Amino acid sequence: MNSFYGVKLPTAFMLGTANYPSPAILDAAFRQSQASVATVSVRREAAGARAGEGFWRLIRELGVQVLPNTAGCHTASEAVTTAHMARELFDTNWIKLEVIGHSDSLQPDPFGLVEAATILCRDGFKVFPYTTEDLVLADRLLDAGCEVLMPWGAPIGTGLGLINPYGLRSLRAQYPHVPMVIDAGLGLPSQAAQAMEMGFDAVLLNTAVAKAGDPVAMACAFAKAIKAGQLAKTADPMEPRDMAEPSTPLIGKAFLQ
Amino acid sequence: MAKPQITIVGSGVAGLCLAAELAERGMVFRLFDRHGRPAEHGCSWWAGGMLAPFCESETAEEPVVRLGQEAADWWQRHNVDVKRNGSLVLALGRDAGELDRFARRTSQHEWVDEDGVAALEPDLAGRARRGLFFATEAHLSPRDALTCLVGELKSRDIPIETANWLDFSDNDNVAGAPSPISKIDCRGLSAADALTDLRGVKGEMLMIRSADIRLSRPVRLLHPRIPIYLVPRGEGVFMLGATQIESSNRNGATVRSVLELLSAAYALHPALGEAEILEIGVDARPAFPDNLPRIRRRGDRLYVNGLFRHGFLLAPAMARMAADYLFSGQIPEVMDENFN
**Of the partner residues B225, B249, B290, the one whose CB lies closest to the CB of residue A45:** B249
In this complex, is the C-beta atom of A10 within 8 Å of any C-beta atom belonging to chain B? no
Q: What is the mean pLDDT of residues A53-63?
A: 87
Structural domain boundaries of chain B? 1-83+137-195+290-340, 87-135+199-287
Q: Measured between beta carbons, which residues in chain A are less than 8 angstroms from residue B252?
A: 45
CB contacts < 8 A, A to B, total 61
**Of the partner residues B192, B245, B290, the one whose CB lies closest to the CB of residue A22:** B290
Q: Do you know the residue count of chain A?
A: 257
Q: Which pLDDT does position A256 carry in this prediction?
A: 60
pLDDT digits (tens, 9 = 90+) for B108-134: 999 999 999 999 999 999 999 999 999
Distances (CA, A) of A33 to B53, B99, B183: 30, 29, 43
Cis before A193 (ω within 30):
no
Give me the DSSP letters along B1-40. -PPP-EEEE--SHHHHHHHHHHHHTT--EEEEETTSSS-T
CA distance B149 to B136: 24
Q: Measured between beta carbons, which residues in chain B are less than 8 angstroms from residue A43?
A: 245, 247
Q: Which of A236, A181, A153, A123 is nearest to A7 (CA)?
A: A181
Q: Which pLDDT does position A54 carry in this prediction?
A: 84
Whether the per-residue pLDDT at B179 is higher than 90: the answer is: no
pLDDT digits (tens, 9 = 90+) for A209-246: 999 999 999 999 999 999 999 999 999 988 888 887 77
Q: Which pLDDT does position B25 carry in this prediction?
A: 95
**Of the partner residues B60, B224, B245, the one whose CB lies closest to the CB of residue A157:** B224
Best residue of A43, A61, A104 to probe chain B, by most B CBs closer than 10 Å: A43
Furthest-apart CA atoms within chain A: distance in Å: 86
Q: Measured between beta carbons, which residues in chain B are less than 8 angstroms from residue A58?
A: 199, 289
pLDDT digits (tens, 9 = 90+) for A67-112: 999 988 999 999 999 999 999 888 899 999 999 998 878 899 999 9
Q: Which pLDDT does position A71 carry in this prediction?
A: 87
Q: What is the mean pLDDT of residues A127-131?
A: 96
Q: Which pLDDT does position A79 carry in this prediction?
A: 94
Q: Which pLDDT does position B280 carry in this prediction?
A: 96
**Of the partner residues B247, B252, B289, the one whose CB lies closest to the CB of residue A58:** B289
Whether the per-residue pLDDT at B283 is higher than 70: the answer is: yes
Q: How confident is the model at residue B4 (pLDDT cuts 50, 70, 90)?
A: low
Query: Where are the extended beta strands (E) located within chain B?
Result: 6-9, 29-33, 50-51, 87-91, 110-113, 130-134, 138-139, 160-162, 183-185, 199-209, 219-222, 228-234, 237-241, 276-287, 294-298, 301-305, 335-339
Using an 8 Å Cβ cutoff, are B214 and B232 in contact?
A: yes
Residues of B with CB under 8 A from a CB of A: 59-61, 101, 104-105, 192, 198-200, 202, 224-225, 245-249, 252, 254, 287, 289-292
- Residue B312 phi, psi (nearest 5): -75, -20
By C-alpha distance, the chain B residue nearest A53 is B247
Give me the DSSP letters along A36-100. -EEEEE--HHHHGGGTTHHHHHHHHTT-SEEEEE-TT--SHHHHHHHHHHHHHHHT--EEEE--B
Q: Which pLDDT does position B177 carry in this prediction?
A: 55
Q: Do B290 and A23 touch (CB under 8 A)?
A: yes
Q: A250 to chain B nearest CA, in Å?
A: 51
Hey, is A109 helix, strand or coil? coil
Q: Measured between beta carbons, which residues in chain B are less than 8 angstroms from residue A62?
A: none
Task: Report the percent of chain B where pLDDT is more than 90.
Answer: 86
Radius of gyration for chain A, computed over Cα atoms and rounded to the nearest angstrom: 20
Helix segments in A91-129, DSSP class H: 110-122
CA distance A34 to A141: 30
Q: Measured between beta carbons, which residues in chain B are less than 8 angstroms from residue A160?
A: none
In this complex, is the C-beta atom of A135 within 8 Å of any C-beta atom belonging to chain B? no
CA distance A93 to A126: 6
Using an 8 Å Cβ cutoff, are A101 and A110 in contact?
A: yes
User: Which has more confidence, B176 or B156?
Assistant: B156
Q: Which pLDDT does position A137 carry in this prediction?
A: 96
> Which residues contact residue A121 at a Cβ distance below 8 angstroms, ignoring those fewer than 6 apart?
A127, A144, A145, A146
Task: Count other C-beta atoms under 10 Å from residue B330's C-beta.
Answer: 12
Q: B290 to chain A nearest CA, in Å?
A: 5
Q: A10 to chain B nearest CA, in Å?
A: 26
Residue A46, CA atoms < 13 Å, CB-side half-sphere: 23
Q: How confident is the model at residue A42 (pLDDT cuts 50, 70, 90)?
A: confident
By C-alpha distance, the chain A residue nearest B196 is A54
**Of the partner residues B101, B104, B289, the one whose CB lies closest to the CB of residue A24:** B289
Residues 94-123, chain A, touching B (beta carbon < 8 A): none
Q: How confident is the model at residue B164 (pLDDT cuts 50, 70, 90)?
A: confident
CA distance B280 to B239: 10
CATH architecture type of domain B1-83+137-195+290-340: 3-Layer(bba) Sandwich (3.50)
User: Which has more confidence, A116 or B4?
Assistant: A116
Q: Do B246 and A55 touch (CB under 8 A)?
A: yes
Q: Do B289 and A52 touch (CB under 8 A)?
A: no
Q: Measured between beta carbons, which residues in chain A are less than 8 angstroms from residue B254?
A: 45
CATH superfamily of B87-135+199-287: D-Amino Acid Oxidase, subunit A, domain 2 (3.30.9.10)
User: Which has more confidence, A140 or A55?
Assistant: A140
pLDDT digits (tens, 9 = 90+) for B128-139: 999 999 999 999
CA distance B162 to B33: 5
Q: Measured between beta carbons, which residues in chain B are less than 8 angstroms from residue A25?
A: 290
By C-alpha distance, the chain A residue nearest B255 is A45
Q: Do the bridges between strand B199-209 and strand B50-51 make them parallel or antiparallel, or are there none, so unpaired?
A: unpaired
Q: Do B192 and A52 touch (CB under 8 A)?
A: no
Q: Which pLDDT does position A12 carry in this prediction?
A: 95
pLDDT, chain A, mean = 91
Using an 8 Å Cβ cutoff, are A118 and A145 in contact?
A: yes
Q: Which pLDDT does position A244 carry in this prediction?
A: 79
pLDDT digits (tens, 9 = 90+) for B78-105: 999 999 999 999 998 888 889 999 999 9
Task: Report the percent of chain A where pLDDT is more than 70.
Answer: 93
Q: Which pLDDT does position B134 carry in this prediction?
A: 98
Q: Do B248 and A54 touch (CB under 8 A)?
A: yes
**Of the partner residues A25, A51, A211, the one whose CB lies closest to the CB of residue B248:** A51
Task: Count other C-beta atoms under 10 Å from residue B79's C-beta.
Answer: 12
Q: Do A51 and B249 touch (CB under 8 A)?
A: yes
Catalytic residue check, A96: yes
pLDDT digits (tens, 9 = 90+) for A177-197: 999 999 989 999 999 999 999
User: Which has more confidence, B172 or B208?
Assistant: B208
Q: Do B245 and A213 touch (CB under 8 A)?
A: no
Task: Report the percent of chain A where pLDDT is more than 90.
Answer: 73
Q: What is the mean pLDDT of residues B176-197?
A: 88
Residue A43, CA atoms < 13 Å, CB-side half-sphere: 18
Q: Which pLDDT does position A102 carry in this prediction?
A: 87
- Residue A136 phi, psi (nearest 5): -65, -40
> Which among A8, A96, A227, A253 is annotated as catalytic?
A96
- Residue A232 phi, psi (nearest 5): -60, -40
Q: Which pLDDT does position B99 carry in this prediction?
A: 95
Q: Which pLDDT does position A113 carry in this prediction?
A: 96
**Of the partner residues A48, A55, A211, the one whose CB lies closest to the CB of residue B199:** A55
Q: B60 to chain A nearest CA, in Å?
A: 7
By C-alpha distance, the chain A residue nearest B250 is A51
Q: Which pLDDT does position A95 carry in this prediction?
A: 96
Q: How confident is the model at residue A250 (pLDDT cuts 50, 70, 90)?
A: low
